[in-house]
Amino acid sequence: MTHFPTRSKLTALALLAALAASGQAAAQTRSEGRAAVLQGLLDCKAKSDPTERLACYDAAAGAIDTAEQKGDIVVVDREQAKAARKQAFGLGLPSLDMFNKAEATPEEANRIEDTVERAYRGGDGKWVFELTGGAVWQYYDAADLGRQPKKGSKAEVRKGAVGGYFLSLDGQSGARAKRLR
């Protein structure tokens, strides 16, 4: 009988728990959007020879363990994800520290760039920006912009010194903004 190190067992159990917790979504075959190391594990199912399949699973478990240790992947269970989503409501994000193993540079941690999908004035006269990444931001003030924003405008959001955010479009000076969703 083959001996599996305890760490490999724990890694495999954590992965299986995460896959089982995702229910129906895990049953669907979607290689798009999956981490390569996870896809490598799933590809082992296709091996018909038991010895070859076991060797494939051993190699895949090792690759997943290494990737997790390096911060290349993060495995969370449903309860951890639920707690993170709850904490993120209103975008107070301290509980998302579990994703910081692959540390971002200060530049990456303090600003994002995206493209405007849609820009419009809300009922209160304040500009609202829907970005291609799915985020929706709103200026705090009903400020007039030098140039009208349009689909395709480049948006940059920077963290301010006191926890606020500044959103600028197409290189114009930024204005205080908040994320709506």
More confident residue, 181 or 25: 181
Beta strand 111-121 with 154-159 is: antiparallel
What's the token pair of residue 159?
Answer: 């963290």
The pLDDT of residue 15: 47
Number of domains in the chain: 2
Last residue in a domain, options 48, 68, 101: 101
Q: pLDDT tens, 67-84?
A: 989 988 888 887 787 666
In this prediction the pTM is 0.48
Place of tokens 């304040």: 126
> Over pLDDT 70: what percentage of the chain?
65
Averaged pLDDT, 85-112: 53
Same structural domain for residues 12 and 86? yes
Averaged pLDDT, 139-160: 82
Residue numbers of the domain that contains 69:
1-101
Last residue in a domain, options 50, 68, 101: 101
The pLDDT of residue 102: 44
Same structural domain for residues 88 and 129? no
Same structural domain for residues 53 and 136? no
More confident residue, 27 or 148: 148
By three-state DSSP, how is residue 177 classified?
strand
- pLDDT band, residue 157 (cuts 50/70/90): confident
Last residue in a domain, options 49, 68, 101: 101
The pLDDT of residue 96: 52
Q: For the ranges 21-25, 31-35, 66-70, 87-91, which has the lowest average pLDDT?
A: 21-25
User: What is the rounded distance in angstroms from the CA atom of residue 49 to the CA atom of residue 53?
Assistant: 6
